[in-house]
């Protein structure tokens, strides 16, 4: 029962990690598209040292978050497959830090009226486009954000339960053999014992008659 429960939780954790990985890949692709736009407009890549133009922090942020989510997904898959305590602890630490970062940014946006001043100026203009897109599609973006946060919370909870269940038990004791293995042992052919002496020649009927004759001779004496 414990093995079945552990296998189900491992499968669900892998599925949730796949969702997080897809979000990370989407953010990486969006950052690559922004890099392409920057290179077309400015004539160079945003990672080159150019003191004349400010750094496009919005591209850096999206690219870094996408890579971080992909790394968390890889760690989560390894932790779900092995159910190792160190991997599970590391995965839960990554998810917790990411969750706290998201909570801090959300609290700053909703509680601070001048939250836009906390972010530096974006030379690409992508930050303003991103804000306009969220405002025009607020309901969809709200449910998508809640879904991502829920996936992260469920992943953290499943990792915690897997840590409580413990790792796989690969070695079985003698009392844990399944019943379908017992007949194979019972029906195993037992080799006959070795007998020291001259071999017996003849059939079983001949041996029986010899024993009867010996008993008759002994009684007649």
Q: Where are the chain's structural domains?
A: 1-43+55-119+133-165
Distance CA 45, CA 14 (A): 36
Query: Who contacts 118 (Cβ-Cβ below 8 Å, separation ≥6)?
Result: 108, 112
Structure tokens at 117: 């001043």
Chain-centre distance for alpha carbon 9: 9
User: How many CB atoms are closer than 10 A to CB 46?
Assistant: 22
pLDDT of residue 174: 41
**pLDDT of the chain, 221 residues: tens digit per residue:** 777 888 888 889 899 999 999 999 999 999 888 888 877 777 666 666 555 566 678 888 888 999 999 999 999 999 888 888 888 899 999 999 998 998 888 888 788 777 777 777 777 777 888 888 888 888 888 888 888 889 999 999 988 888 887 665 543 444 444 444 444 444 445 555 555 555 555 555 556 666 666 766 666 65
- Closest Cα partner for 94 from 109, 116, 73? 73
- Closest Cα partner for 95 from 173, 19, 191? 19
Terminal CA-CA length for the chain: 74
pLDDT of residue 52: 59
In degrees, rounded to 5, the angle at the alpha carbon of residue 50 between the alpha carbons of residues 47 and 56 is 50
Asked whether 64 and 53 are in contact (CB, 8 A), the reply is no
pLDDT of residue 7: 84
Structure tokens at 106: 């959300």
Q: Which residue has the tokens 């040292």?
A: 49
Distance CA 98, CA 69 (A): 9
């Amino acid at each position: 029962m414990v093995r079945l429960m552990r296998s189900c939780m491992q499968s669900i954790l892998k599925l949730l990690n796949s969702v997080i990985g897809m979000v990370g890949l989407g953010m990486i692709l969006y950052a690559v598209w922004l890099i392409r736009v920057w290179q077309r407009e400015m004539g160079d890549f945003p990672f080159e040292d150019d003191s004349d133009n400010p750094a496009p922090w919005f591209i850096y942020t999206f690219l870094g978050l996408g890579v971080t989510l992909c790394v968390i997904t890889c760690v989560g898959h390894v932790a779900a497959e092995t159910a190792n305590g160190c991997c599970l602890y590391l995965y839960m630490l990554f998810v917790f830090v990411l969750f706290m970062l998201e909570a801090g940014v959300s609290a700053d946006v909703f509680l601070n009226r001048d939250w836009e001043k906390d972010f530096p100026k974006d030379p690409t203009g992508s930050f303003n486009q991103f804000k306009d897109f969220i405002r025009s599609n607020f309901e969809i973006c709200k449910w998508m954000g809640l879904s991502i946060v829920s996936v992260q919370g469920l992943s953290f909870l499943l990792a915690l339960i897997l840590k409580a269940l413990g790792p796989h038990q690969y070695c079985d004791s003698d009392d844990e053999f399944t019943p379908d293995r017992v007949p194979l042992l019972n029906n195993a052919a037992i080799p006959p014992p070795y007998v020291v002496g001259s071999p017996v020649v003849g059939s079983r009927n001949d041996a029986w008659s010899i024993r009867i004759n010996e008993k008759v001779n002994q009684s007649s004496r």
